Structure 1
Amino acid sequence: SDVTLTGDVTDEADNCTLDLEATYTDATADGDCPNASIITRTWTLTDECGNSTTLDQTINVVDSTPPTFTAPDDITIECDQDASDVTLTGDVTDEADNCTLDLEATYTDATTDGDCPNTYTITRTWTLMDECGNTTSLDQTINVVDTTVPTIVGEFQEVININCDNIPEVPELVFEDMCSTDITVIGPIETVNVIDEDNYQIIWTWTVNDECGNGETYTQTINVSIVDTITAVDSGLCVLDLSIDLFSLLSGDVDQNGTWSVSSGDATLNGSFFDPSQFLDINQGFDPAVLGDYIFTYTLTDSACPSETQVTIALHDLCVVLPCGEEDVIISKAVTPNGDNNNEFFTITGVETCGFTVELQIFNRWGAEIYKNFDYENDWNGTAHSSSVGSHDKVPTGTYYYILNLKNSGLKPFAGPIYVGTK
C-alpha cells in the first residue's frame, strides 16, 4: 500500500480537466508460500465528464529474506553432564524473521571422538527456517571432557586417633568415576612415622587414576598412642623347681614375638624359659650365693604396642629338704688307738647315706693344725703332721679341737673338743 515503494501515477493528464488524481483497486492472489502473494493493482483515471482510463499494475510480494538468530556460545562440559540439556549448553532465544513469527531454531549434532574414552567434541548446527523455506544455519562447538578425579564410595575418615591396642584394619576402599570404568589403584602403601616414645603414626596411601589420566591421592592417618597392654606378676621360685616359662608371668594382650633378656642376676635363658637347675651341681647341690632376685625384661619392638616389661623372680631354697639334719650327726668324743677295737678312729656317723663330703680339720690347744682332710673317711687315729709332734707319728695324749664341715649339707660347720689318748 506504500505507493512510494510500489509506484504511483504521476503523469495524469486530460484535454479538458486539470488536477486529476489516479486511484487504484487491488485484487490479491496467493503466492507460493505463506506471506507471498500476487497483487493486481488496477489504476483508474476519470475526468469531469466521466471519461475513464484503466491500467493494471502487477505487484509480486515475495519472501526471500532468511531469518536471523544468534548461536549459543561454545562451551566445555564434563562427561557426566547431559549435552542434550540446552539449559546447560545454551539455547537460541533471539529467533527473528521479516515475515514469519514464532520461529523456533532446531539443531543437529555431529560428534568427533576425543583423546580418551568418554570425551568427544560435538558440532551442534542450529537451523532456523521461515515459512518460505529461507534458512539460516550457525554452528556451536561443545567440548565434552573428563577432568574429574575418581572418588571414594561411602564414608572415608582421613584422620583417626586411637590407642595401639585398637588399631583398625586397613580399609578396603572402593573407588568410582563418573565416566571411566577402568580405574587404576596403587596401594594401600603403609608408612610409619615415630613421633616420640609414646606416639607414632601409621599412614595408608592410595593413588587412583581414571582412563583420562585424572589422578588423586587419598591418605588416611592413624595417630597411635602407645599404652601398656602387658601386666607382669613377680614370682618366687625354688632352686630345685622345674623351669618356668616367663610368659606365664605376663597377662593382657601379650604378643609373644618379642625377646627376653636378663637385666639383673647371673643367669641364662632358653628363649622364654628360666631353669633353676642351671645352678645345681651333679649332686644337686648349689652355692647359696645364687639365691636372690633375678630380673628379666621382655622387649617388644616390632609390635603395634612396643614395650619393655620386667618381671622379678626371687630364687630361694625353701623347697630344699635336707637329707640329714644336725640331730643326725654323731661325732666321736674320744680317740684311743690302743688296739682294743674301741674308739680306734675319730668317726662321724649317722650321715653315711646322706651323700655329704666330710671336711675335717684338727687343732691342738695352741691352735696349730695337726690334721686336715677334705674328704675324710673316718680313718684318723691320732696321727699328725711331723712338724707338730717332733719325731713321733702320734699326737700326745690330750684334748684337741676339731672343725667339721659337711659339704653340700646346708648345715653350719661343727666345732668341738675331742680327747685323744695315745698311751
Structure 2
Amino acid sequence: RTNGTCAGTYSVTRTWTATDAGGNTTTASQTINVEDNTAPAPTTAFQTVINTTCAEVPVKPELLFADSCSEMAPIVVYSEDIINNSSTSYSIIRKWNVKDACNNTADYIQTVNVNIITDVTTITVPEFINSINGTPVDLTTYLPQDAPSNGTWVDVNNSGLLNGSILDPNNAATGDYTFQYNIETETCPISYVINLKIDQSFVLGCGTILVHNAFTPNGDAFNEKFVIDNIDDTICYPENSVEIYNRWGILVYEAKGYNNEEVSFKGFSEGRVTVDKSAGLPAGTYFYILNYTTVGLQDEIIPKREQGYLYLTR
C-alpha cells in the first residue's frame, strides 16, 4: 500500500511469484489505485423544502454527516440567508457546506418558505365613552399588560380623535370607532384591534361603586355598618351579593340585594357556619367579596367583582 495525498486516496499493489520444480520463477502483479472523489453525505433525514407560516417556522435541524472513504469527521460550515423578503412572505435558505479530508465538498440546502400572517387580537370595550365633556382616554389601558411598547397606533376610521395613544372624544359624533395598535417583530407582526363606542347623548352616569372597608359598630350611631356607595341603585346595579369571611376563612355574613339599610352587615354573624349569631363579632380583619351586575350601553348585563380586606373595630 502506498498512501496518497489524503486519507481516502492510496494505491495497493498485489504481486504473485510462481516457482516450478526446476527453480524457475515468474511474477505477476496487480495495482489498484483508490481515489476518494465523493463528498460526505448526511446521515440525518431532513426536509429540503418546507412551506409554513411565520408563527410556525421550525428550528434549524441538527444534521450529522459521514464520509464513506474516511473515518475522519468532515468539516461542516452552516450559513443562513433570508431572500425574497416582502410584506407578505419571505424564504429562509439554510445551507450546510461539508468537506472531507480529500477536499471533496457538497452543499445540502433546506428552503423554508414563510407566509406572513399577522397575529390579530380584537378587544371590544364594553363601556361607551361620553363625548359630552369627555375625558381623554389612553388606549394603552385596554391593551394586555405584556403588549410590547414599541408599536404604532392607527386611526382606522380617520376620525382625527387620536394623538399617539390618547383618544380625545370631545364633541365626537355618536358611533362605533376602531383603533389599531401594530407591532413589528422578528417573527410575526402583532395587531391589537380596539373597538369602542362613543355616545354624544347626555346620559346621567351611574354612581361609582365604592367600598368603605372599615366601620365601628360600637353603638355610637356613627359608622355603624359596612357601607358600599351606590350599591342600592338597582337601575345601574340590578343584582348583588356580599360575602364576608373571618381570618380563618369561615363565612360570617352573606346576603343578596345588599342596600346599606335593612340588608347590611352591622358586625353580627349571619353565616351558615359560624359562631353564635346573636353575638357581635370580635374586632379584627375580615375579607369581603362583592359580586354585582351593571347594565351596558346595549342593555346587556355585565358581571363585576370586587374583593378586599374589611376592618372592624369597636
Q: TM-score, normalised by structure 1?
A: 0.39
* Shift in alpha-carbon separation, 1:241–1:261, aligned structure 2, 3 A: closer
CA contact (8 A) 1:249 1:311 kept: no
After TM superposition, list the pairs within 5 Å mapping 1:312-351 onto structure 2: 312-316=195-199, 321=205
Which of 207, 211, 228 does residue 101 from structure 2 map onto?
Answer: 211
Corresponding residue for 1:262? Answer: 154
Q: CA deviation at 1:135?
A: 1.7
Q: 1:154 to 1:133 in 2, by over 3 A?
A: farther
Residue in structure 2 matched with residue 16 of structure 1 by the alignment? none
Say whether the 8 Å CA contact 1:262–1:268 is kept in structure 2: no
**Count of residues in Structure 1 that have an aligned counterpart in Structure 2:** 197
Long gaps (5+) in structure 1? 1-110, 280-285, 324-423
Name the SS of the counterpart of 2:111 in structure 1: strand
Q: Which has the higher contact order (CA 8 A, sep 6+)?
A: 2
Distance 1:191 1:257 in 2: 27
Q: Does 1:288 align with 2:171?
A: yes
The 5-angstrom pairing of residues 363-378 of structure 1 reads: none
SS of the aligned residue for 2:55 comes to helix
| Equivalent residue runs for 1:6-45 within 5 Å | none
The AA in structure 1 aligned to 2:74 is I
1:262 aligned partner, one-letter code: V
How far apart are 1:176 and its partner, in Å? 1.5
Following the alignment from structure 2 to structure 1, what is the Cα–Cα distance between the partners of residues 92 and 82?
Answer: 6
When residues 177 and 291 of structure 1 are mapped into structure 2, their CA distance, relative to the original with a 3 A threshold, is same
Contact 2:82 2:90 in 1 (8 A): no
Distance (whole Å) between structure 2 residues aligned to residue 255 and residue 150 of structure 1: 47
Aligned to 1:304: 187
Alpha-carbon distance change, 322 to 154 in structure 1, aligned in 2, over 3 angstroms: closer
Query: Contact 1:255 / 1:303 at 8 angstroms: preserved in 2?
Result: no
Given candidates 69, 78, 84, the residue that maps to 1:187 is 78
1:117-145 CA distance string (max 9 Å, x none): 23222222232233433221133221122
Cα separation, 2, equivalents of 1:255 and 1:207: 40
Q: CA deviation at 1:218?
A: 0.7
Q: Secondary structure at the match of 1:205?
A: strand
Q: 1:126 to 1:302 in 2, by over 3 A?
A: farther
Contact 1:113/1:119 (8 A) holds in 2 = yes
CA separation of 1:234 and 1:127: change in aligned 2, threshold 3 A: same
Match of 2:163, SS? coil
> Once the 2 structures are TM-superposed, how far is the Cα of residue 306 of structure 1 from its aligned partner?
3.8
- What is the correspondence of 1:20-419 to structure 2 with a 5 Å cutoff? 111-178=1-68, 179-194=70-85, 198-235=88-125, 236=127, 238=129, 239-240=134-135, 243-245=138-140, 248=143, 256=148, 259-263=151-155, 264=158, 265-269=160-164, 274-276=165-167, 279=168, 287-289=170-172, 295-306=178-189, 310-316=193-199, 321=205
* Residue 125 to residue 310, structure 1, CA distance change in 2 (3 Å): same
Q: Report the alpha carbon displacement of residue 216 of structure 1 after superposing the two structures with TM.
A: 0.7
Q: 1:187 to 1:230 in 2, by over 3 A?
A: same
- Could you give the per-residue CA deviations for residues 38-84 of structure 1, whole angstroms, max 9, x where no partner exists? xxxxxxxxxxxxxxxxxxxxxxxxxxxxxxxxxxxxxxxxxxxxxxx
User: Is this contact kept in 2: 1:201–1:224, CA < 8 A?
Assistant: yes
In the TM superposition, what is the alpha-carbon distance from 1:205 to its structure 2 partner?
A: 1.1
Equivalent-residue separation in structure 2 for 1:181 and 1:255 (angstroms): 51
User: What code does the residue aligned with 2:143 have?
Assistant: S
Q: Which has the higher helix share?
A: 1
1:246 is displaced (CA, Å) by 6.3
CA–CA distance in structure 1, aligned partners of residues 54 and 163 of structure 2: 32
Task: State which structure, 1 or 2, has the greater radius of gyration over its C-alpha atoms.
Answer: 1
Unaligned regions of 5+ residues in structure 2, if any? 208-314
Q: Deviations over 1:361-415 (max 9, x none)?
A: xxxxxxxxxxxxxxxxxxxxxxxxxxxxxxxxxxxxxxxxxxxxxxxxxxxxxxx
Is residue 40–residue 106 contact of structure 2 (8 Å, CA) maintained in 1? yes
CA distance in 2, matches of 1:242, 1:266: 10
Cα displacement string for residues 139-185 of structure 1 (whole angstroms, at most 9, x for unaligned residues): 32211221111111221211122233221111111111121414211
Kindly indicate whether the alpha-carbon contact (under 8 Å) linking 2:49 and 2:113 is maintained by their aligned counterparts in 1.
Answer: yes
What RMSD over aligned residues (CA atoms) do the two structures have, in Å?
Answer: 3.7
Return the TM-score normalized by structure 2.
Answer: 0.51
Change (3 A) 1:242 1:302: closer
1:187, distance to aligned residue in structure 2 (A): 1.0
Which whole-Å CA distance do the structure 1 matches of 2:147 and 2:109 have between them?
28
Aligned residue identity for 1:266: L
* Superposed CA offset, 1:1-30 (max 9, x none): xxxxxxxxxxxxxxxxxxxxxxxxxxxxxx
Q: Which amino acid aligns with 1:166?
A: E
Cα offset for 1:297?
2.8
Instruction: Give the Cα–Cα distance (whole angstroms) in 2 for the partners of residues 118 and 131 of structure 1.
Output: 42
Sequence identity percentage: 31
Contact 1:118 1:180 in 2 (8 A): no
